[in-house]
Amino acid sequence: MKVIIRDHESEAALWVADRIANAIKAKAKISDKPFVLGLPTGSTPLKVYAELVRKVKAGELSFKNVITFNMDEYVGLPVEHPESYHSFMYNNLFNHIDIPRENIHILDGNAPDLAAECASYEEKIAATGGFDLFLGGIGEDGHIAFNEPFSPLQSRTRVVTLTDDTIRVNSRFFGGDINLVPKQAMSVGVATVLGAKEVVIMAFGPKKARAIGEAIEGPITHKNTVSALQNHPDGIVVMDEDAAGELKVSSYKYFKAVEAAEMR
């Protein structure tokens, strides 16, 4: 696992946006096949999305040959609800870039048959040949997508029940009222994410420090589903100093030294 630590979130977000842009351009140079990108919602990716939008508007990057799959969506929330992940993605990214609408995939939390919707999502992902890069955040409880503690590390896209912790954390988007937060969601599985050629997990702020410390230094465990990234051949965790606060000093120095050596 590679770990990138930057003083502030804004610098870490620029690093991530550059990584994504470079990966899209690198594939375009050697192949006509679309770049397949997994995307998260939440507070964490906002600065990355803003920078990707800037790059597209500046003519530095194009999403014309990019296919996206979002990692999750609430069950039962209308698509046009301001807190649906559909709304989030269009407002923060898709409405501002040149991605063809048919290349965008987001789980339908109002599908008549939710299990069939999940199965078809996995089929659509497989039909593309799989993810080139999956971008994600981490929950305060160590979740990746909505793979809450005790989700199987071999899980695939399915309906999940949110933990009380996640409902409480996400209630900030619903006027602080936990009763307005959907209790279920659909989410790609841990194995869906780890099937990507490259996985980039971002963590910003002190609230993520405990989960990040456990994911990186603890055992691989379903109690912290991001910890499964330890087994991925190309996993990167990008964080600010606040999120690095629970790493051991020796680990912190090691990651900084590796990065400095690779830049020489």
In angstroms, rounded to a whole number, what is the distance separating the alpha carbons of residues 263 and 47?
A: 24
In a 10 Å sphere around its CB, with 0-12 CB exposed, 13-18 middle and 19+ buried, how is residue 242 labelled?
middle
Tell me the C-alpha to C-alpha distance, in Å, between residue 53 and each of 84, 94, 216, 235. Answer: 20, 9, 31, 24
Catalytic, 98? Answer no
In angstroms, rounded to a whole number, what is the distance separating the alpha carbons of residues 229 and 196?
A: 11
Residues 14-43 binding ligand PGA (CB under 6 A) are: 42-43
Catalytic, 148? Answer yes
- The rounded Cα 231 to chain-centroid distance in angstroms is 17
Residues 44-63 binding ligand PGA (CB under 6 A) are: 44
- Closest C-alpha to 20, from 44, 36, 42: 36
Which CB, 83 or 198, lies closer to ligand PGA?
83
154 near ligand PGA, judged by CB under 6 A = no
Tell me the residue nearest to ligand PGA as measured from the CB: 42
CB of 196 to ligand PGA, least distance (A): 16
Yes or no: say if 138 and 210 are a contact pair by the CB < 8 Å rule: no
Catalytic, 262? Answer no
Binding mask 110-149 for ligand PGA (x = CB under 6 A): ---------------------------xxx---x------
Number of residues in contact with ligand PGA under rule CB under 6 A: 7
Residues that bind ligand PGA (CB under 6 A): 42-44, 137-139, 143
* Residues catalogued as catalytic: 72, 141, 143, 148
